[in-house]
Amino acid sequence: MIETPPAGPPVAEPKCAFGRPVPGGVPFPVERRRPDPPGRAVARPVAESPAPDRFALTFTSATPGARVARETVGSALRAWGLPDLADDAELVASELVTNALRHAGTATVAVTRRPGAVTLEVTDDDPDPPRAADPDPLGTSGRGLIIVAALAAGWGWRPVEPVGKCVWATFGTP
């Protein structure tokens, strides 16, 4: 069963891993367990539906990218029976999407399950490699990649053609 989100402010248009819009506006069947804020729908897996091994969404700077990325990653991990990874992976997704939107204005988030690991990838149009900042001890930013390195089993980046990069993080699974 798929619910249609209520009319409200524009939100990110979900796209599949191949860049095509997702029919129905969400990457997987949803149900509502609690009331959502006005004008916002939260996608959650339906327990009876088999979960695909990959979820992906594309955001622009005009969308609530970090929040939706956290919710999507958390929902995917819970659908896969990996709720213990959700907190760390949601925080890493938030940091990587925030960086991508700040520096490139767009971000595509994909979370993929493979035997023994979950990989989170954030792709953007900025070709410059990610750089860990030397954060001001009293500042409120500059710690994103430090957090990613602390929470993920591994992370890195690769160039993407024709222009851009993909920053990835992996998490071990039982």
SS (H, E, C) 30-71: CCCCCCCCCCCCCCCCCCCCCCCCEEEEEEECCCCHHHHHHH
Q: How confident is the model at residue 24, as a pLDDT? A: 40
Residue 8 has pLDDT above 90, yes or no: no
- Tell me the per-residue pLDDT of 85-94, one tens digit each, with 9 for 90 and over: 999 999 999 9
Question: Rounded distance, CA 150 to CA 54, Å?
Answer: 24
- What CATH number should be reported for the domain whose range is 23-32+40-172? 3.30.565.10
Interval 21-38: pLDDT, tens: 444 444 433 333 344 444
The residue type found at 133 is A
Pairing of strands 165-172, 54-60: unpaired
Task: Return the half-sphere exposure (C-beta side, CA atoms, 13 A cut-off) of residue 35.
Answer: 3
Contact 58, 13 (CB under 8 A): yes
The CA radius of gyration of the chain, in Å to the nearest whole number, is 16
pLDDT tens-digit map of 37-68: 444 434 444 344 456 788 888 877 777 888 88
Question: Taking the domains of the chain in order of start, what are their residue ranges?
Answer: 23-32+40-172
pLDDT one-digit tens code per residue, 142-174: 678 888 999 999 999 999 998 899 999 999 998
Across all residues in the chain, what is the average pLDDT? Answer: 75
What does the alpha-carbon distance between residue 154 and residue 75 come to, in Å, rounded to a whole number?
Answer: 22
Residue type, 125: D
- pLDDT at residue 140 greater than cutoff 70: no
H/E segment holding residue 110: strand 106-114
Q: How confident is the model at residue 14 (pLDDT cuts 50, 70, 90)?
A: very low
